[in-house]
């Protein structure tokens, strides 16, 4: 049996609800090409636990005229006859033949298959051109036109909890936390003090750096400096920085955050730039901050540089990743236990294993 007919517009409307901000490769799961792919699966009945499978051809040969033919007879005809050379689909195709690769590699394999929304039939040989994809049945149920309002919202949450992996759920939870906190961002410092920052994406990342990153990656963290766009200089931070020999001038080489790790014998100074859209630790920025610590009498081995982002999928990371300085780190609010290390040289390639300390 075919599932209920669903217009592509409804699919496009629900995909961003099912795959919210924080979903890995979200753009591949929510863009128009994804809506077209899911629509085509529902249209021909390529659902898990059936023997019907979708291939990219079912998507790129679809037309507006065919898509509105909602009768079971028309849908079955499209499914059964599409691969015949004599079969003509009325109207203008949605996509050209060369869209096959983006449908297969991005929308399906890197997007919907990767997050558990679509199954790939392993019985079909990898070299075969036969259709191999089907929508998971639990996900297909979320596109039932009768499912609306609170009932739909509850069903989506249930599906996410059961089918998205722990990493994806953690990322989504963090992004949702930021989305609802509109009154201001209260930051809890390691010494028990608090400071309220004006609401914005940079403030949310700053809070995560202080409350999460500092605790996970430093032995005895303290906040030496915290600035924000609406209040670049806090006098207590300026005094604290001065007491350890850092001469920070307002509006000149000003970092977003300075943490200090008081655990080691020689304290570690950690300069952090928060990137919502721009402003990463690049080589010029790194050298300017080194000048500060050189003047303060710190060895360069006592200084670290971190660029903090919301997520690897964020526009800020994609925009600035190519400019990140060697010898620095990148950290993501959505993956708090991990850091990216931009190592400035190794003696030999085999020492990579020593550096990463892979377990036996």
Q: What is the pLDDT of residue 199?
A: 76
Q: What is the pLDDT of residue 235?
A: 44
**312: confidence class by pLDDT, cuts 50, 70, 90:** confident
Q: CA-to-CA distance for 198 and 207, rounded, in angstroms? A: 11
Q: CA-to-CA distance for 188 and 190, rounded, in angstroms? A: 7
Q: CA-to-CA distance for 123 and 56, rounded, in angstroms? A: 18
* Average pLDDT value for residue range 131-151: 94
Q: What is the pLDDT of residue 233?
A: 45
Asked whether 325 and 282 are in contact (CB, 8 A), the reply is yes
Global model pTM greater than 0.75: no
Q: What is the mean pLDDT of the chain?
A: 84
Per the model's pLDDT, the better-predicted residue between 113 and 233 turns out to be 113
Per the model's pLDDT, the better-predicted residue between 176 and 266 turns out to be 266
Angle, CA of 29, 93 and 73, to the nearest 5°: 90
Q: What is the pLDDT of residue 343?
A: 85
Per the model's pLDDT, the better-predicted residue between 184 and 301 turns out to be 301
**250: confidence class by pLDDT, cuts 50, 70, 90:** very low
Q: What is the pLDDT of residue 175?
A: 57
Q: CA-to-CA distance for 190 and 211, rounded, in angstroms? A: 7
Q: What is residue 270's three-state secondary structure? A: strand
Strand 133-135 to strand 118-120: parallel, antiparallel, or no bridges (unpaired)? antiparallel
């Amino acid at each position: 049996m075919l599932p209920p007919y669903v217009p592509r517009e409804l699919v496009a409307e629900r995909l961003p609800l099912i795959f919210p901000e924080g979903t890995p490769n979200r753009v591949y799961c929510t863009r128009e090409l994804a809506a077209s792919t899911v629509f085509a699966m529902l249209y021909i009945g390529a659902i898990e636990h059936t023997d019907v499978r979708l291939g990219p051809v079912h998507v790129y040969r679809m037309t507006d005229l065919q898509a509105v033919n909602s009768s079971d007879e028309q849908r079955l005809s499209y499914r059964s006859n599409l691969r015949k050379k004599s079969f003509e689909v009325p109207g203008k195709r949605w996509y050209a033949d060369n869209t096959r690769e983006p449908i297969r590699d991005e929308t399906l394999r890197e997007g919907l298959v990767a997050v558990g929304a679509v199954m790939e039939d392993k019985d079909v040989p990898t070299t075969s051109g036969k259709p191999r994809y089907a929508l998971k049945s639990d996900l297909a149920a979320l596109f039932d036109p009768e499912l609306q309002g609170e009932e739909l919202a509850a069903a989506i949450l249930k599906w996410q909890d059961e089918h998205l992996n722990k990493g994806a759920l953690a990322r989504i939870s963090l992004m949702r936390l930021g989305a609802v906190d509109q009154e201001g961002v209260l930051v809890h410092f390691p010494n028990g003090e608090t400071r309220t920052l004006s609401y914005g994406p940079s403030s949310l990342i700053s809070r995560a750096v202080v409350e999460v990153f500092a605790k996970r990656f430093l032995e005895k963290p303290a906040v030496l400096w915290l600035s924000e766009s609406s209040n670049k200089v806090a006098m207590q931070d300026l005094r604290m920085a001065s007491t350890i020999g850092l001469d920070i001038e307002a509006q000149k080489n000003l970092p977003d955050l300075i943490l200090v790790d008081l655990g080691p014998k020689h304290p570690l100074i950690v300069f952090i730039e928060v990137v919502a859209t721009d402003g990463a630790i690049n080589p010029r920025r790194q050298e300017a901050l080194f000048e500060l610590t050189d003047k303060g009498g710190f060895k360069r081995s006592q200084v670290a540089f971190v660029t903090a982002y919301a997520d690897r999928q964020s526009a800020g990371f994609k925009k600035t990743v190519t400019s990140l300085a060697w010898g620095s780190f990148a950290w993501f609010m959505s993956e708090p236990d991990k850091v990216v290390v931009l190592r400035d040289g190794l003696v030999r390639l085999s020492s990579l294993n020593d550096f990463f300390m892979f377990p036996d």
